[in-house]
Amino acid sequence: MGVVRKHGLKVGFVVCFWIYIVTTYCWVRLQQKNDPSYEAAEEGDKYVGATVVLALFLVVYMLWFMFYVCKSLAVIRQLPPPFLFVFVITFFTFVATIVGLFIAAFYPIPSAPLDFLGMYGLYNLYVWTLAFVYAPLNAGFGNGFGSMDSDISEESGMGGDGQGGMMVGGEDAIDDMQL
C-alpha cells in the first residue's frame, strides 16, 4: 500500500500532463484538418490559457525534480568520480532542456540556426558521452586496455624491425577481434 501511495501522486501528475498534451495536440490537428492554413501561433488569445497551463506543469515538474535532487545530495556527494561525472552531465542536460522548453527551442521550424545547433548538438554530445562512459574497457583487443599497443604492434608488423610502412595483420586479424 505504501508503494501505491508513494508513486500514486507521480503517476497521477504524469497522466494529467500527458492527457493535457495529447488533447491540445489533437485539437490543433483537428483545426488544421478543417483548415490547412490554420496556425495555432496566429490564434494568440485562444492559446494563452493553454500556454499558461503547460508552463505550470513544467514548473511543477522542475520543482519536483529539484526537490529530489536536493534530497539526494548526500548520496550524490559520495558517488565515485565516473558516476558523479554522469550525474553532472545528466543534470546539465536536464536544465538545458527545461530552458529550451521555455525559450521555444524545440519549435519544428527553428527561428535561429544557433538554437538548433545548440540544443540538438547538446543532445548528440550527451548521447555520445554516455555511450563512451558506458562502453566496456576491454573491447576484444587482448587481455586488457593496457595491452592494446603491444597486440597491435605485433599484428601490424611494426614491432622494431625498422619498417616505416604499416602492414595489415593478415586474414586472421579480424577474426582475433571480437566484434
pLDDT in tens, 45-81: 777 888 888 889 888 888 888 888 888 888 888 888 8
The confidence band for 2, taking pLDDT boundaries of 50, 70 and 90, is: low
The confidence band for 147, taking pLDDT boundaries of 50, 70 and 90, is: very low
My answer on whether 91 and 47 are in the same domain is no
Q: What is the grid cell recorded at 178?
A: 571480437
My answer on whether 63 and 97 are in the same domain is no
Whole-number pLDDT of residue 96: 86
Last residue of a domain, one of 71, 90, 121: 71
Q: How many Å is the maximal CA-CA distance in the chain?
A: 79
Whole-number pLDDT of residue 137: 73
Mean pLDDT, to the nearest integer, of 117-124?
86
Residue 177 to residue 169: CA distance in whole angstroms: 11
My answer on whether 98 and 51 are in the same domain is no
Whole-number pLDDT of residue 19: 92
Whole-number pLDDT of residue 110: 65
**Considering the domain boundaries, does residue 8 fall inside one?**
yes
**Considering the domain boundaries, does residue 166 fall inside one?**
no
Q: Which of 42-51, 116-125, 137-146 has the lowest mean pLDDT?
A: 137-146
Count structural domains, the chain.
2
My answer on whether 62 and 111 are in the same domain is no
My answer on whether 106 and 58 are in the same domain is no
Distance in Å from the first CA to the final CA of the chain? 47
My answer on whether 83 and 67 are in the same domain is no
**Long-range CB contacts (< 8 A, 24+ apart) of 50-58?**
50/24, 53/20, 54/20, 54/21, 54/24, 55/102, 57/16, 57/17, 57/20, 58/98, 58/101, 58/102
Residue 139 to residue 146: CA distance in whole angstroms: 11
Whole-number pLDDT of residue 141: 53
How far CA 169 is from CA of 157, 158, 162, 174, 179, in Å, comes to: 7, 10, 17, 8, 16
Mean pLDDT, to the nearest integer, of 86-93?
88
pTM for this predicted structure: 0.52
How far CA 53 is from CA of 17, 20, 29, 48, in Å, comes to: 10, 9, 19, 9
My answer on whether 26 and 46 are in the same domain is yes
My answer on whether 132 and 152 are in the same domain is yes
Range of the domain at 18: 1-71
**Considering the domain boundaries, does residue 116 fall inside one?**
yes
Q: What is the grid cell recorded at 128?
A: 555520445
Radius of gyration of the chain (CA): 26
